[in-house]
Amino acid sequence: ISIYYVIMFATPGPNNSILTASGIKFGFVKTIPNIFGIPTGHGIQLALVCFGLGSLFLQFPFLLNILKYVGAAYLLYLAWKMFGSLNIETKEDKSSPLSYYEAIFFQFVNSKAWVICITAVSLFYPEKENIFVGTLFMVTMSSIINIPSISIWAIGGSIIRKYLNNHKLKKTIEWFLAFLLICTAISIII
């Protein structure tokens, strides 16, 4: 299970794109609430799947399609935030990093996170264990592996930030990352 989680959490996806952009734009310290919100939201998701919500997705696959569209819309919203709401009249940047609760919420519209949960439970759930002990095991393992795996992306972004003294270059990279979020949203829909 640990190798599966490392591969799923450390590979590129919506969470890691957001963490990299946040590291670049706001630094590592201001990104910490987002870093802890992701495993919290994912842990809640995972517990729900362990307690039977996953069978609902298997029975009604259109629910995952709905999540895809909601998740894509949320990624577009985050890209808009990353653009600094395109406030052309003032030079003041009013954008802010994703909060702890926003990161938790995002997991519920992140289709990759749902796929991770459903796959992990169907492949690795300890069947002969009490449901509460098995669920606690799954959530604990997920959280232990999730935090360092996703932190790498925020650290990478904050390292890049140190080399971006040029405001125009920093803005260009922020816009590029926002564009990548838009591309991610489009790829989710397609």
Evaluate whether 162 touches 28 at the Cβ level (below 8 Å). no
pLDDT on residue 84: 60
| Burial status of residue 120 (CB atoms within 10 A of its CB: 0-12, 13-18, 19 or more) | buried
| Residue 175 pLDDT > 80 | yes
- Weakest mean pLDDT among 16-20, 41-45, 85-89, 123-127: 85-89
Query: pLDDT grade, residue 40 (50/70/90)?
Result: very high
Structure-token pair, residue 30 = 């201001």
Query: pLDDT grade, residue 185 (50/70/90)?
Result: confident
Evaluate whether 70 touches 6 at the Cβ level (below 8 Å). no
pTM, entire model: 0.81
Q: Which tens digits make up the pLDDT trace of 62-105?
A: 887 887 888 788 888 878 877 764 444 445 566 788 899 999 99
Query: pLDDT grade, residue 58 (50/70/90)?
Result: confident
Sequence-distant (≥ 6) Cβ neighbours of residue 9 within 8 angstroms = 116, 145, 146, 149, 150
pLDDT on residue 94: 66
Pairwise pLDDT comparison (15 vs 164), residue with the higher score: 15
| Burial status of residue 97 (CB atoms within 10 A of its CB: 0-12, 13-18, 19 or more) | buried
